[in-house]
Structure 1
Amino acid sequence: MSIPDIFDRTARRRRRDRAAASFAEYDFLRAAMLDGIQERLAAVTRGFDDVLDLGCFDGTFPAAGRHIVRCDAGFAFARATDGVQADEDRLPFADGSFDLVVSAGVLDSVNDLPGALTLIRRALRPDGLFLAAFTGAGTLPALRAAFREAERDRPAARIHPQIDVRSAGDLLVRAGFALPVADVESLNVRYGTLGKLLGDLRGMAATNLLVGRTPLRRDTLGRAADAFAAQADPDGRTSERFEIIFLTGWAPAPSQPQPARRGSATTSLADALKRMPPKAD
Protein backbone atom coordinates (compact mmCIF):
# COMPACT_ATOMS: atom_id res chain seq x y z
CA MET A 1 0.00 0.00 0.00
CA SER A 2 1.53 3.31 -1.12
CA ILE A 3 1.79 6.28 1.24
CA PRO A 4 -0.05 9.39 -0.06
CA ASP A 5 2.21 12.35 -0.68
CA ILE A 6 2.10 15.20 1.84
CA PHE A 7 4.38 17.41 -0.23
CA ASP A 8 4.05 18.27 -3.91
CA ARG A 9 7.11 16.64 -5.50
CA THR A 10 6.86 18.65 -8.72
CA ALA A 11 6.56 21.97 -6.90
CA ARG A 12 9.49 21.00 -4.68
CA ARG A 13 11.74 20.44 -7.70
CA ARG A 14 10.62 23.64 -9.39
CA ARG A 15 11.17 25.79 -6.33
CA ARG A 16 14.61 24.34 -5.83
CA ASP A 17 15.37 25.17 -9.45
CA ARG A 18 14.04 28.70 -8.95
CA ALA A 19 16.25 29.18 -5.88
CA ALA A 20 19.42 27.76 -7.43
CA ALA A 21 20.71 30.89 -9.19
CA SER A 22 20.81 33.08 -6.07
CA PHE A 23 20.88 30.53 -3.25
CA ALA A 24 24.22 31.82 -1.92
CA GLU A 25 22.43 35.02 -0.86
CA TYR A 26 20.01 33.03 1.34
CA ASP A 27 22.12 30.15 2.64
CA PHE A 28 22.49 31.30 6.27
CA LEU A 29 20.23 28.57 7.66
CA ARG A 30 21.95 25.76 5.75
CA ALA A 31 25.32 27.25 6.66
CA ALA A 32 24.39 26.94 10.35
CA MET A 33 23.36 23.34 9.75
CA LEU A 34 26.63 22.54 7.97
CA ASP A 35 28.61 24.12 10.81
CA GLY A 36 26.86 21.80 13.24
CA ILE A 37 27.47 18.78 11.03
CA GLN A 38 31.16 19.67 10.65
CA GLU A 39 31.48 20.07 14.42
CA ARG A 40 30.03 16.59 14.96
CA LEU A 41 32.15 15.13 12.19
CA ALA A 42 35.30 16.63 13.71
CA ALA A 43 34.65 14.65 16.90
CA VAL A 44 34.92 11.35 14.97
CA THR A 45 38.48 10.03 14.90
CA ARG A 46 38.17 7.76 11.85
CA GLY A 47 38.26 8.86 8.22
CA PHE A 48 35.68 8.50 5.46
CA ASP A 49 36.43 7.89 1.79
CA ASP A 50 33.09 7.71 -0.04
CA VAL A 51 30.61 10.43 0.88
CA LEU A 52 27.04 11.19 -0.20
CA ASP A 53 25.94 14.83 0.11
CA LEU A 54 22.16 14.32 0.12
CA GLY A 55 20.25 17.48 -0.68
CA CYS A 56 23.42 19.17 -1.83
CA PHE A 57 22.02 22.59 -2.84
CA ASP A 58 25.05 24.43 -4.30
CA GLY A 59 27.59 21.88 -3.09
CA THR A 60 29.15 23.84 -0.23
CA PHE A 61 29.73 20.79 1.97
CA PRO A 62 33.51 20.36 1.49
CA ALA A 63 34.89 17.25 -0.15
CA ALA A 64 38.19 17.59 1.77
CA GLY A 65 40.01 15.06 -0.40
CA ARG A 66 37.19 12.53 -0.24
CA HIS A 67 35.28 11.02 -3.13
CA ILE A 68 31.93 12.78 -2.84
CA VAL A 69 28.67 12.23 -4.70
CA ARG A 70 26.21 15.12 -4.72
CA CYS A 71 22.47 14.44 -4.91
CA ASP A 72 19.55 16.85 -5.01
CA ALA A 73 15.84 16.70 -5.82
CA GLY A 74 16.24 19.81 -7.98
CA PHE A 75 17.66 19.54 -11.48
CA ALA A 76 19.52 22.87 -11.34
CA PHE A 77 21.36 22.07 -8.08
CA ALA A 78 22.21 18.57 -9.31
CA ARG A 79 23.51 19.86 -12.64
CA ALA A 80 25.56 22.66 -11.07
CA THR A 81 27.38 20.19 -8.81
CA ASP A 82 27.76 17.37 -11.37
CA GLY A 83 25.43 15.42 -9.14
CA VAL A 84 22.48 13.05 -9.32
CA GLN A 85 18.88 14.23 -9.34
CA ALA A 86 16.71 12.12 -7.03
CA ASP A 87 14.19 12.46 -4.22
CA GLU A 88 15.51 11.44 -0.83
CA ASP A 89 12.89 8.69 -0.46
CA ARG A 90 13.66 7.32 -3.94
CA LEU A 91 17.43 6.99 -3.88
CA PRO A 92 19.12 5.18 -6.79
CA PHE A 93 22.27 4.07 -4.93
CA ALA A 94 23.24 0.47 -4.29
CA ASP A 95 23.49 -0.90 -0.77
CA GLY A 96 26.85 -0.26 0.89
CA SER A 97 27.93 2.49 -1.51
CA PHE A 98 29.12 5.04 1.08
CA ASP A 99 30.80 5.23 4.45
CA LEU A 100 29.44 8.74 5.21
CA VAL A 101 26.10 10.34 4.32
CA VAL A 102 25.42 13.99 5.20
CA SER A 103 22.16 15.83 4.66
CA ALA A 104 21.46 19.47 5.54
CA GLY A 105 18.18 21.30 5.06
CA VAL A 106 15.97 18.86 3.15
CA LEU A 107 14.59 16.05 5.30
CA ASP A 108 11.79 18.25 6.70
CA SER A 109 10.01 18.19 3.32
CA VAL A 110 10.41 14.51 2.35
CA ASN A 111 7.17 12.62 1.83
CA ASP A 112 8.32 9.27 3.22
CA LEU A 113 10.88 10.19 5.85
CA PRO A 114 10.99 6.72 7.48
CA GLY A 115 11.57 5.22 4.04
CA ALA A 116 14.26 7.78 3.23
CA LEU A 117 16.12 7.03 6.46
CA THR A 118 15.97 3.32 5.73
CA LEU A 119 17.40 3.89 2.24
CA ILE A 120 20.17 6.03 3.72
CA ARG A 121 21.05 3.32 6.23
CA ARG A 122 21.13 0.71 3.46
CA ALA A 123 23.37 2.94 1.31
CA LEU A 124 25.92 2.97 4.12
CA ARG A 125 28.55 0.31 4.63
CA PRO A 126 28.76 -1.37 8.05
CA ASP A 127 29.96 1.18 10.60
CA GLY A 128 29.19 4.02 8.17
CA LEU A 129 28.07 7.36 9.61
CA PHE A 130 24.94 9.40 8.93
CA LEU A 131 24.83 13.09 9.92
CA ALA A 132 21.81 15.25 9.15
CA ALA A 133 20.21 18.55 10.06
CA PHE A 134 16.79 19.99 9.27
CA THR A 135 14.23 22.36 10.79
CA GLY A 136 11.88 20.82 13.33
CA ALA A 137 9.03 21.54 15.70
CA GLY A 138 8.98 25.08 17.07
CA THR A 139 10.33 26.65 13.87
CA LEU A 140 8.78 29.95 12.64
CA PRO A 141 6.54 30.68 15.66
CA ALA A 142 6.11 34.35 14.73
CA LEU A 143 5.05 33.50 11.18
CA ARG A 144 2.61 30.88 12.46
CA ALA A 145 1.08 33.38 14.85
CA ALA A 146 0.78 36.00 12.11
CA PHE A 147 -1.09 33.63 9.79
CA ARG A 148 -3.36 32.44 12.61
CA GLU A 149 -4.34 36.04 13.25
CA ALA A 150 -4.75 36.86 9.54
CA GLU A 151 -6.91 33.81 8.84
CA ARG A 152 -8.70 33.51 12.14
CA ASP A 153 -12.07 32.74 10.54
CA ARG A 154 -10.85 30.44 7.76
CA PRO A 155 -7.40 29.06 8.67
CA ALA A 156 -5.36 27.42 5.91
CA ALA A 157 -2.29 25.19 6.07
CA ARG A 158 0.56 27.60 5.36
CA ILE A 159 3.51 25.98 7.18
CA HIS A 160 4.67 22.38 6.96
CA PRO A 161 4.00 19.89 9.77
CA GLN A 162 7.19 19.57 11.78
CA ILE A 163 8.81 16.69 13.62
CA ASP A 164 10.08 17.07 17.18
CA VAL A 165 13.49 15.92 18.37
CA ARG A 166 12.19 12.87 20.26
CA SER A 167 10.27 11.60 17.23
CA ALA A 168 13.33 12.19 15.06
CA GLY A 169 15.38 9.97 17.35
CA ASP A 170 12.68 7.31 17.25
CA LEU A 171 12.78 7.36 13.44
CA LEU A 172 16.53 6.68 13.51
CA VAL A 173 15.90 3.60 15.64
CA ARG A 174 13.04 2.49 13.39
CA ALA A 175 15.29 2.80 10.33
CA GLY A 176 17.85 0.45 11.90
CA PHE A 177 20.60 2.89 12.90
CA ALA A 178 22.90 2.02 15.76
CA LEU A 179 24.00 4.48 18.46
CA PRO A 180 21.33 7.03 17.45
CA VAL A 181 21.49 10.60 18.74
CA ALA A 182 19.04 13.44 18.09
CA ASP A 183 19.53 16.93 19.51
CA VAL A 184 18.29 20.43 18.73
CA GLU A 185 19.79 23.91 18.50
CA SER A 186 17.99 27.23 18.02
CA LEU A 187 18.83 29.97 15.54
CA ASN A 188 17.13 33.36 16.03
CA VAL A 189 16.89 35.88 13.21
CA ARG A 190 15.34 39.35 13.49
CA TYR A 191 13.25 40.80 10.67
CA GLY A 192 12.06 44.31 9.93
CA THR A 193 9.12 43.11 7.84
CA LEU A 194 7.19 39.95 7.02
CA GLY A 195 8.18 40.44 3.38
CA LYS A 196 11.86 40.02 4.24
CA LEU A 197 11.17 36.74 6.05
CA LEU A 198 9.08 35.41 3.17
CA GLY A 199 11.84 36.48 0.76
CA ASP A 200 14.38 34.48 2.73
CA LEU A 201 12.11 31.42 2.70
CA ARG A 202 11.67 31.69 -1.08
CA GLY A 203 15.40 32.16 -1.54
CA MET A 204 16.20 28.99 0.42
CA ALA A 205 13.42 26.98 -1.32
CA ALA A 206 11.53 26.63 1.97
CA THR A 207 8.05 27.92 1.11
CA ASN A 208 4.79 25.95 1.35
CA LEU A 209 4.92 22.67 -0.61
CA LEU A 210 1.86 20.97 0.86
CA VAL A 211 -0.40 19.11 -1.53
CA GLY A 212 -3.69 21.01 -1.84
CA ARG A 213 -2.23 24.32 -0.65
CA THR A 214 -4.35 27.41 -1.32
CA PRO A 215 -3.01 30.65 -2.82
CA LEU A 216 -2.21 33.46 -0.41
CA ARG A 217 -4.54 36.39 -1.13
CA ARG A 218 -3.33 39.97 -0.99
CA ASP A 219 -5.68 40.98 1.83
CA THR A 220 -4.60 37.95 3.86
CA LEU A 221 -0.95 38.84 3.32
CA GLY A 222 -1.64 42.40 4.46
CA ARG A 223 -3.27 41.24 7.70
CA ALA A 224 -0.42 38.79 8.29
CA ALA A 225 2.13 41.57 7.79
CA ASP A 226 0.34 43.70 10.39
CA ALA A 227 0.17 40.78 12.83
CA PHE A 228 3.87 40.04 12.29
CA ALA A 229 4.78 43.69 12.92
CA ALA A 230 2.67 43.67 16.10
CA GLN A 231 5.09 41.10 17.55
CA ALA A 232 8.08 43.40 17.04
CA ASP A 233 10.49 44.50 19.75
CA PRO A 234 10.77 48.23 20.59
CA ASP A 235 13.30 48.67 17.77
CA GLY A 236 10.66 47.57 15.22
CA ARG A 237 12.19 44.18 14.41
CA THR A 238 10.47 40.85 15.02
CA SER A 239 12.46 37.87 16.27
CA GLU A 240 11.89 34.62 14.38
CA ARG A 241 13.22 31.25 15.46
CA PHE A 242 14.50 28.25 13.52
CA GLU A 243 14.81 25.01 15.51
CA ILE A 244 17.52 22.85 13.92
CA ILE A 245 17.36 19.14 14.65
CA PHE A 246 20.65 17.26 14.28
CA LEU A 247 20.71 13.51 13.73
CA THR A 248 23.63 11.13 14.19
CA GLY A 249 23.43 7.43 13.47
CA TRP A 250 25.70 4.57 12.49
CA ALA A 251 25.08 1.65 10.19
CA PRO A 252 25.24 -1.44 12.42
CA ALA A 253 28.52 -3.35 12.59
CA PRO A 254 29.81 -6.16 14.85
CA SER A 255 32.66 -3.96 16.08
CA GLN A 256 30.32 -1.40 17.66
CA PRO A 257 29.53 -1.34 21.39
CA GLN A 258 26.56 -3.58 22.10
CA PRO A 259 24.05 -3.22 24.94
CA ALA A 260 24.36 -5.88 27.61
CA ARG A 261 21.99 -8.80 27.28
CA ARG A 262 18.98 -8.34 29.52
CA GLY A 263 19.38 -10.29 32.75
CA SER A 264 23.18 -10.59 32.37
CA ALA A 265 24.06 -8.33 35.35
CA THR A 266 26.03 -10.05 38.10
CA THR A 267 25.29 -7.50 40.85
CA SER A 268 21.86 -6.38 42.00
CA LEU A 269 21.00 -2.71 42.40
CA ALA A 270 20.21 -3.33 46.07
CA ASP A 271 23.70 -4.75 46.71
CA ALA A 272 25.31 -1.85 44.89
CA LEU A 273 23.40 0.65 47.01
CA LYS A 274 24.45 -1.10 50.19
CA ARG A 275 28.12 -0.58 49.31
CA MET A 276 27.70 3.19 48.78
CA PRO A 277 29.11 5.32 51.63
CA PRO A 278 26.50 7.08 53.77
CA LYS A 279 25.81 10.74 53.05
CA ALA A 280 27.26 13.28 55.44
CA ASP A 281 24.77 15.16 57.60
Structure 2
Amino acid sequence: PGGIEKLTMMDMSVDMVNKWRELESATDDGPEMNFIVGDEEYLPMKENSQDLIMSCLGLHWTNDLPGAMIQCRLALKPDGLFLAAILGGETLKELRIACTIAQMEREGGISPRMSPLAQVRDAGNLLSRAGFALPGVDVDRYTVKYNSALELVEHLRAMAETNALFQRSHILKRDTALATAAIYQSMFGLEDGTIPATFQVIYMTGWKEHSSQQKPKRRGSATVSFGDIRKQFGSNQD
Protein backbone atom coordinates (compact mmCIF):
# COMPACT_ATOMS: atom_id res chain seq x y z
CA PRO A 1 0.00 0.00 0.00
CA GLY A 2 2.86 2.38 0.77
CA GLY A 3 4.62 1.69 -2.56
CA ILE A 4 8.24 0.73 -3.11
CA GLU A 5 10.48 1.85 -0.27
CA LYS A 6 13.84 0.44 -1.43
CA LEU A 7 15.03 -0.55 -4.87
CA THR A 8 18.23 -2.38 -5.85
CA MET A 9 19.53 -2.15 -9.41
CA MET A 10 22.22 -4.55 -10.65
CA ASP A 11 24.27 -4.77 -13.84
CA MET A 12 27.54 -6.41 -14.88
CA SER A 13 28.74 -3.15 -16.40
CA VAL A 14 30.50 -0.72 -14.05
CA ASP A 15 29.86 2.12 -16.51
CA MET A 16 26.14 1.39 -16.60
CA VAL A 17 25.88 1.29 -12.81
CA ASN A 18 27.77 4.59 -12.56
CA LYS A 19 25.37 6.13 -15.08
CA TRP A 20 22.42 4.99 -12.96
CA ARG A 21 24.05 6.58 -9.91
CA GLU A 22 24.43 9.88 -11.77
CA LEU A 23 20.80 9.87 -12.87
CA GLU A 24 19.58 8.99 -9.37
CA SER A 25 21.68 11.69 -7.71
CA ALA A 26 20.08 14.28 -9.99
CA THR A 27 16.64 13.61 -8.49
CA ASP A 28 15.50 13.66 -4.88
CA ASP A 29 12.16 11.89 -5.25
CA GLY A 30 11.50 8.16 -5.47
CA PRO A 31 12.47 5.19 -3.31
CA GLU A 32 15.84 4.61 -1.68
CA MET A 33 18.21 3.30 -4.35
CA ASN A 34 20.99 0.76 -4.02
CA PHE A 35 23.36 -0.07 -6.91
CA ILE A 36 25.30 -3.33 -7.37
CA VAL A 37 27.81 -4.50 -9.95
CA GLY A 38 27.00 -8.19 -10.20
CA ASP A 39 26.36 -11.25 -12.34
CA GLU A 40 23.02 -13.06 -12.57
CA GLU A 41 24.85 -16.38 -12.40
CA TYR A 42 26.41 -15.40 -9.04
CA LEU A 43 23.58 -13.35 -7.58
CA PRO A 44 24.97 -11.21 -4.71
CA MET A 45 21.76 -11.30 -2.66
CA LYS A 46 20.84 -13.07 0.56
CA GLU A 47 18.18 -15.76 0.58
CA ASN A 48 14.64 -14.63 1.43
CA SER A 49 15.59 -10.96 1.12
CA GLN A 50 13.66 -9.64 -1.91
CA ASP A 51 9.94 -9.03 -2.48
CA LEU A 52 10.32 -8.71 -6.25
CA ILE A 53 13.04 -9.54 -8.79
CA MET A 54 12.80 -8.19 -12.32
CA SER A 55 15.10 -8.97 -15.24
CA CYS A 56 14.75 -7.08 -18.51
CA LEU A 57 16.41 -8.63 -21.58
CA GLY A 58 19.53 -9.77 -19.76
CA LEU A 59 19.10 -13.45 -18.92
CA HIS A 60 19.82 -14.62 -22.48
CA TRP A 61 23.49 -13.84 -21.76
CA THR A 62 23.77 -16.37 -18.92
CA ASN A 63 25.55 -19.69 -19.46
CA ASP A 64 23.32 -21.45 -16.91
CA LEU A 65 19.84 -19.99 -17.29
CA PRO A 66 18.08 -22.51 -14.98
CA GLY A 67 20.76 -21.94 -12.34
CA ALA A 68 20.37 -18.17 -12.53
CA MET A 69 16.59 -18.49 -12.16
CA ILE A 70 17.02 -20.81 -9.16
CA GLN A 71 19.20 -18.17 -7.49
CA CYS A 72 16.47 -15.60 -8.14
CA ARG A 73 13.92 -17.84 -6.45
CA LEU A 74 16.18 -18.39 -3.44
CA ALA A 75 16.68 -14.63 -3.07
CA LEU A 76 12.93 -14.00 -2.98
CA LYS A 77 10.87 -13.92 0.18
CA PRO A 78 7.97 -16.40 0.39
CA ASP A 79 5.24 -15.24 -2.01
CA GLY A 80 7.82 -13.04 -3.75
CA LEU A 81 7.42 -12.47 -7.49
CA PHE A 82 9.88 -13.11 -10.33
CA LEU A 83 9.34 -11.16 -13.57
CA ALA A 84 11.61 -11.60 -16.57
CA ALA A 85 11.67 -10.63 -20.22
CA ILE A 86 14.09 -12.52 -22.48
CA LEU A 87 14.69 -12.59 -26.21
CA GLY A 88 13.15 -15.69 -27.77
CA GLY A 89 14.36 -18.04 -30.47
CA GLU A 90 12.44 -16.28 -33.27
CA THR A 91 14.54 -13.15 -32.73
CA LEU A 92 16.47 -12.11 -35.86
CA LYS A 93 15.28 -15.18 -37.76
CA GLU A 94 15.67 -13.32 -41.07
CA LEU A 95 19.32 -12.51 -40.36
CA ARG A 96 20.05 -16.07 -39.25
CA ILE A 97 18.63 -17.49 -42.49
CA ALA A 98 20.42 -14.99 -44.74
CA CYS A 99 23.75 -15.42 -42.94
CA THR A 100 23.52 -19.22 -43.04
CA ILE A 101 22.86 -19.26 -46.81
CA ALA A 102 25.68 -16.77 -47.44
CA GLN A 103 28.18 -18.76 -45.40
CA MET A 104 27.25 -22.00 -47.16
CA GLU A 105 27.71 -20.34 -50.55
CA ARG A 106 30.91 -18.41 -49.78
CA GLU A 107 32.66 -20.54 -47.17
CA GLY A 108 31.22 -24.03 -47.60
CA GLY A 109 30.14 -24.23 -43.96
CA ILE A 110 28.57 -22.24 -41.16
CA SER A 111 29.69 -20.70 -37.87
CA PRO A 112 27.09 -19.27 -35.45
CA ARG A 113 26.95 -15.49 -35.78
CA MET A 114 24.39 -14.99 -32.98
CA SER A 115 24.04 -16.39 -29.49
CA PRO A 116 21.51 -19.22 -28.92
CA LEU A 117 18.16 -18.14 -27.48
CA ALA A 118 15.43 -19.91 -25.52
CA GLN A 119 12.30 -21.17 -27.26
CA VAL A 120 8.77 -20.35 -26.09
CA ARG A 121 8.08 -24.02 -25.39
CA ASP A 122 11.01 -24.07 -22.96
CA ALA A 123 9.97 -21.05 -20.88
CA GLY A 124 7.35 -22.84 -18.75
CA ASN A 125 9.70 -25.77 -18.17
CA LEU A 126 12.44 -23.35 -17.07
CA LEU A 127 10.13 -21.78 -14.48
CA SER A 128 9.05 -25.18 -13.15
CA ARG A 129 12.62 -26.48 -13.12
CA ALA A 130 13.69 -23.45 -11.11
CA GLY A 131 10.99 -24.26 -8.53
CA PHE A 132 8.61 -21.35 -9.13
CA ALA A 133 4.93 -21.70 -8.27
CA LEU A 134 2.09 -20.53 -10.52
CA PRO A 135 4.31 -20.13 -13.60
CA GLY A 136 3.09 -17.96 -16.46
CA VAL A 137 4.43 -17.28 -19.96
CA ASP A 138 3.47 -14.69 -22.55
CA VAL A 139 4.99 -13.66 -25.87
CA ASP A 140 5.23 -10.47 -27.93
CA ARG A 141 6.71 -10.09 -31.39
CA TYR A 142 8.09 -6.82 -32.72
CA THR A 143 9.16 -6.02 -36.27
CA VAL A 144 11.71 -3.24 -36.74
CA LYS A 145 12.55 -1.85 -40.19
CA TYR A 146 16.12 -1.09 -41.27
CA ASN A 147 17.51 0.40 -44.45
CA SER A 148 19.79 -2.62 -44.93
CA ALA A 149 21.14 -5.70 -43.19
CA LEU A 150 24.46 -3.91 -42.67
CA GLU A 151 22.65 -1.16 -40.75
CA LEU A 152 20.97 -3.83 -38.62
CA VAL A 153 24.34 -5.44 -37.82
CA GLU A 154 25.78 -2.07 -36.79
CA HIS A 155 22.78 -1.55 -34.52
CA LEU A 156 23.34 -4.95 -32.89
CA ARG A 157 27.02 -4.14 -32.34
CA ALA A 158 26.08 -0.84 -30.71
CA MET A 159 23.71 -2.77 -28.42
CA ALA A 160 26.51 -5.28 -27.61
CA GLU A 161 24.14 -8.01 -28.81
CA THR A 162 26.50 -9.92 -31.10
CA ASN A 163 27.57 -13.55 -30.63
CA ALA A 164 28.99 -14.42 -27.20
CA LEU A 165 29.96 -18.03 -27.95
CA PHE A 166 33.62 -18.92 -27.42
CA GLN A 167 33.60 -21.51 -30.22
CA ARG A 168 32.84 -19.17 -33.09
CA SER A 169 34.55 -17.52 -36.00
CA HIS A 170 35.63 -14.06 -34.85
CA ILE A 171 35.85 -12.64 -38.37
CA LEU A 172 32.96 -12.21 -40.81
CA LYS A 173 34.54 -12.03 -44.25
CA ARG A 174 33.64 -9.00 -46.34
CA ASP A 175 32.24 -10.99 -49.25
CA THR A 176 30.17 -13.09 -46.84
CA ALA A 177 28.80 -9.95 -45.19
CA LEU A 178 27.87 -8.43 -48.56
CA ALA A 179 26.28 -11.71 -49.66
CA THR A 180 24.28 -11.81 -46.41
CA ALA A 181 22.96 -8.30 -47.07
CA ALA A 182 22.02 -9.18 -50.66
CA ILE A 183 20.28 -12.42 -49.67
CA TYR A 184 18.46 -10.65 -46.81
CA GLN A 185 17.17 -7.99 -49.22
CA SER A 186 16.19 -10.57 -51.84
CA MET A 187 14.33 -12.89 -49.46
CA PHE A 188 12.78 -10.46 -46.98
CA GLY A 189 12.97 -6.98 -48.54
CA LEU A 190 9.82 -4.86 -48.36
CA GLU A 191 8.24 -2.76 -51.11
CA ASP A 192 9.59 0.46 -49.60
CA GLY A 193 13.17 -0.84 -49.86
CA THR A 194 13.62 -1.53 -46.16
CA ILE A 195 14.19 -4.92 -44.53
CA PRO A 196 12.29 -6.27 -41.47
CA ALA A 197 13.98 -7.61 -38.35
CA THR A 198 11.95 -9.74 -35.94
CA PHE A 199 12.43 -9.47 -32.18
CA GLN A 200 10.55 -12.01 -30.07
CA VAL A 201 10.21 -11.19 -26.37
CA ILE A 202 9.19 -13.93 -23.93
CA TYR A 203 7.73 -12.79 -20.61
CA MET A 204 7.97 -15.16 -17.63
CA THR A 205 6.32 -14.84 -14.23
CA GLY A 206 6.71 -17.10 -11.22
CA TRP A 207 6.15 -16.94 -7.47
CA LYS A 208 8.13 -18.30 -4.58
CA GLU A 209 5.95 -20.84 -2.79
CA HIS A 210 3.75 -19.70 0.08
CA SER A 211 0.89 -21.37 1.95
CA SER A 212 -1.58 -18.66 0.86
CA GLN A 213 -1.19 -19.43 -2.85
CA GLN A 214 -3.64 -21.38 -4.95
CA LYS A 215 -2.92 -25.09 -5.20
CA PRO A 216 -3.70 -27.29 -8.21
CA LYS A 217 -6.41 -29.90 -7.81
CA ARG A 218 -5.44 -33.54 -7.52
CA ARG A 219 -5.31 -35.33 -10.88
CA GLY A 220 -8.57 -37.14 -11.59
CA SER A 221 -10.59 -35.03 -9.13
CA ALA A 222 -12.65 -33.24 -11.81
CA THR A 223 -16.43 -33.59 -11.50
CA VAL A 224 -17.37 -32.12 -14.91
CA SER A 225 -16.20 -33.42 -18.27
CA PHE A 226 -15.51 -31.41 -21.41
CA GLY A 227 -18.42 -33.25 -22.98
CA ASP A 228 -20.77 -31.88 -20.31
CA ILE A 229 -19.45 -28.36 -20.88
CA ARG A 230 -19.98 -28.72 -24.61
CA LYS A 231 -23.59 -29.80 -24.08
CA GLN A 232 -24.26 -26.95 -21.64
CA PHE A 233 -22.91 -24.15 -23.82
CA GLY A 234 -23.60 -25.70 -27.19
CA SER A 235 -21.39 -25.59 -30.25
CA ASN A 236 -21.24 -23.12 -33.11
CA GLN A 237 -19.58 -25.67 -35.32
CA ASP A 238 -21.57 -27.80 -37.74
Q: TM-score, normalised by structure 1?
A: 0.71
For residues 278 and 101 of structure 1, the distance between their equivalents in structure 2, rounded to whole angstroms, comes to 42
Match of 1:182 in 2: 137
For residues 148 and 273 of structure 1, the distance between their equivalents in structure 2, rounded to whole angstroms, comes to 51
Match of 1:30 in 2: none
User: Among the aligned pairs, what percent are the same residue?
Assistant: 39
The reply on whether 1:193 has 2:148 as its aligned counterpart is yes
Residue identity opposite 1:121 in structure 2: R
The reply on whether 1:220 has 2:176 as its aligned counterpart is yes
For residues 122 and 47 of structure 1, the distance between their equivalents in structure 2, rounded to whole angstroms, comes to 25
Cα pair distance change 1:47/1:110, threshold 3 Å: farther
Cα pair distance change 1:97/1:278, threshold 3 Å: closer
Cα pair distance change 1:278/1:167, threshold 3 Å: closer
Question: Structure 2 residue aligned with 1:141, among 90, 93, 96?
Answer: 93
Contact 1:99 1:129 in 2 (8 A): yes
Residue identity opposite 1:243 in structure 2: Q
Cα pair distance change 1:262/1:277, threshold 3 Å: closer
Q: Post-superposition shift, 1:261?
A: 3.2
Deviations along 1:205-237, one digit per CA (max 9) or x if unpaired, are 211111122121222212112212223112111
Q: Post-superposition shift, 1:269?
A: 4.2
The reply on whether 1:77 has 2:16 as its aligned counterpart is yes
Residue 249 of structure 1 aligns to a residue in which SS? Answer: strand
Q: Post-superposition shift, 1:263?
A: 5.2
Contact 1:177 1:251 in 2 (8 A): yes
Residue identity opposite 2:43 in structure 1: L
Residue range with higher mean Cα deviation, 174-183 or 219-228: 219-228
**Structure 2: tracts of 5 or more residues without a match:** 22-34
Q: Post-superposition shift, 1:141?
A: 1.4
Residue 76 of structure 1 aligns to a residue in which SS? Answer: helix
Cα pair distance change 1:151/1:261, threshold 3 Å: same
For residues 238 and 148 of structure 1, the distance between their equivalents in structure 2, rounded to whole angstroms, comes to 17
Cα pair distance change 1:128/1:48, threshold 3 Å: farther
Residue identity opposite 1:77 in structure 2: M
Match of 2:66 in 1: 114
Residue identity opposite 2:180 in structure 1: A
Count how many residue pairs are aligned between Structure 1 and Structure 2: 218
CA RMSD of aligned residues (A): 2.5
Residue identity opposite 1:245 in structure 2: I
Match of 1:38 in 2: none
Contact 1:90 1:116 in 2 (8 A): yes
For residues 139 and 199 of structure 2, the distance between their equivalents in structure 1, rounded to whole angstroms, comes to 10
Cα pair distance change 1:47/1:167, threshold 3 Å: farther
Match of 2:125 in 1: 170
Residue identity opposite 1:253 in structure 2: H
For residues 184 and 8 of structure 2, the distance between their equivalents in structure 1, rounded to whole angstroms, comes to 41
Residue identity opposite 1:208 in structure 2: N
Question: Structure 1 residue aligned with 2:211, among 250, 254, 259?
Answer: 254
For residues 112 and 216 of structure 1, the distance between their equivalents in structure 2, rounded to whole angstroms, comes to 27
Q: How does 1:85-164 map to 2 (within 5 A)?
A: 85-152=37-104, 153-164=108-119
Q: Post-superposition shift, 1:178?
A: 0.8
Match of 1:244 in 2: 201
Deviations along 1:163-202, one digit per CA (max 9) or x if unpaired, are 1112011100110111101111100001111121112212
**Structure 1: tracts of 5 or more residues without a match:** 1-45, 50-65
Match of 2:161 in 1: 206
Contact 1:201 1:207 in 2 (8 A): yes
Contact 1:129 1:248 in 2 (8 A): yes
Residue identity opposite 2:166 in structure 1: V
